[in-house]
Amino acid sequence: MDISERTLKRWRGSDGQVGEDQRPEAAPVEQPHKLTQAEELAILSACNQPQYRSLPPSQIVPSLADKGLYLASESSFYRVLKKHQQQNHRGRMKPPRKAPEPTSFTATGPNQVWTWDISYCPSAVRGEHWYLYLIMDIYSRKIIAWEIHEAESGELAKKLVERALLREGCWHNPPVLHSDNGAPMTSYTLKARLADLGMLMSHSRPRVSNDNPYSESLFRTVKYCPEWPSKGFASLTVVRDWMLAFEDAYNERHLHSGIRFVTPADRHRGVDHERLAHRKRVYERAKRRNPRRWSGNTRNWEVTGPVSLNPGKSQEVERNKLAA
Q: Convert the pLDDT of each residue in 99-117 to its tens digit.
A: 677 778 999 999 999 999 9
User: For 129-176, how does the pLDDT look when each residue is reduced to its tens digit (9 = 90+)?
Assistant: 999 999 999 999 999 999 999 999 999 999 999 999 999 999 999 999
**Sequence letter at residue 172:** H
Statement to judge: residues 292 and 176 lie in one domain: no
269 occurs within a structural domain:
yes
Statement to judge: residues 213 and 271 lie in one domain: no
Mean pLDDT by 10 residues, the chain (324 residues): 80 77 78 88 93 88 91 93 84 71 86 96 92 97 96 95 96 94 93 94 83 93 92 95 97 94 95 94 92 88 91 53 47
82 occurs within a structural domain:
yes
5 occurs within a structural domain:
no
* Dihedral sign of CA atoms 158, 149, 220, 137 in order: positive
145: containing domain: 107-254
Statement to judge: residues 134 and 270 lie in one domain: no
Statement to judge: residues 214 and 144 lie in one domain: yes
pLDDT for position 196? 94
Statement to judge: residues 170 and 300 lie in one domain: no
Measured CA distances, 148 to 16, 120, 239 (Å): 73, 9, 8
Statement to judge: residues 182 and 318 lie in one domain: no
| Overall number of domains in the chain | 3
pLDDT for position 314? 47
Statement to judge: residues 140 and 268 lie in one domain: no
Measured CA distances, 274 to 109, 170, 279, 303, 304 (Å): 16, 25, 9, 10, 13
pLDDT for position 224? 93
Statement to judge: residues 238 and 269 lie in one domain: no
Average pLDDT, the chain: 88
CATH of the domain at 243: 3.30.420.10
14 occurs within a structural domain:
no
pTM for the model: 0.69
pLDDT for position 7? 80
Statement to judge: residues 274 and 239 lie in one domain: no
Statement to judge: residues 126 and 199 lie in one domain: yes
pLDDT for position 312? 63
pLDDT for position 24? 78
